[in-house]
A = this chain, B = another copy of it.
Amino acid sequence: MTNYDDPILTIDVVLFALMENHLCVLLPKRQTQPFLDQPALIGGYIHTQEDKDTHAAAMRVLQNKIGIKTPYLEQLALFSGRERDPRGWSATLAYISMVHITHIDKMKSDFYPVDDLPKILAFDHSAIVHWAVKRIRSKSEYSTLPMFVMPTEFTLTELQHVYETMMGKTIDKATFRYKIRELDVVKPTGRMSNPKITNTRPARLYQAIDTKLRLKQWNKSMGS
């Protein structure tokens, strides 16, 4: 069986977090060649001894590099070709992940707002990040994806702000609450927010009902 110069397969993770109402991506500067000192996605090689599959490899990278166990990890796409790495033909499998900012203690300064990214990233990481942002924005429209960056307790207004930040647009309050009620993904904790902080009427606190990603049924686009 001919060996066709097997290309190297790596994985990269586009890690999103919300900071001060901005959707941000982790892009620490590279410590090695090529693209030394340029901002890049976190990633690495697959350890076939250790990693059950690529998903496990991505989990390991997140655990080792920033010390988190993420509840959300989704395969984006494989990016490949002769040009993306100066060393030759290569392929990288990009994952999207998402955490609450309070779970991050190191490398906070390496997060960039998606609307103000560094102009040049290592490899083809600019294309990967743009693709990932598009996916996140779109998926926020019809799923419970934004729930993954909420703390354990939150108000509906806070949840709405997160949805708006991730979607990149504003939503009507009544419509938003109607949909959240319909999705049936949050339940009241019985507690209220502290009015002393906001100088205004306290809001009911809610918590997530489950940790799975839930999609709105859109099977209604062209079916009976």
Q: Chain A interface (Cβ within 8 Å of chain B)?
A: 2, 4-9, 45-49, 52-54, 75, 77-78, 80-82, 88-89, 91, 93, 138, 140-142, 163, 167, 169-172, 175-176, 179, 216, 218-219, 221-224
Contact = CB atoms under 8 A, between A and B. Distances in A.
Q: Is the interface of A mostly helix, strand, loop or mixed?
A: loop
A208 B77 CA distance: 29
A91 B8 CA distance: 11
22 contacts: A4-B45, A5-B48, A6-B6, A6-B8, A6-B9, A6-B46, A9-B9, A9-B91, A48-B82, A48-B89, A53-B80, A53-B82, A75-B78, A78-B78, A138-B219, A169-B224, A170-B224, A171-B222, A175-B222, A176-B222, A216-B221, A218-B221
A176 B89 CA distance: 46
Nearest to A56: B81
A218 B8 contact: no
A78 to B, nearest CB: 5
Given A7-B46, A53-B81, A169-B223, 6 more contacts: A4-B45, A6-B9, A48-B82, A78-B78, A169-B224, A171-B224
Contact of A48 (B4, B54, B141, B142): B4
A169 B221 CA distance: 13
A9 B48 CA distance: 13
Contacts of A171: 222-224
Contacts of A141: 218-219, 221-223
Interface pairs A-B: 5 shortest CB-CB:
A53-B81, A48-B89, A142-B221, A54-B80, A53-B80
Nearest to A167: B223
Nearest to A169: B223
Given A142-B218, A222-B179, A77 B80 contact: no
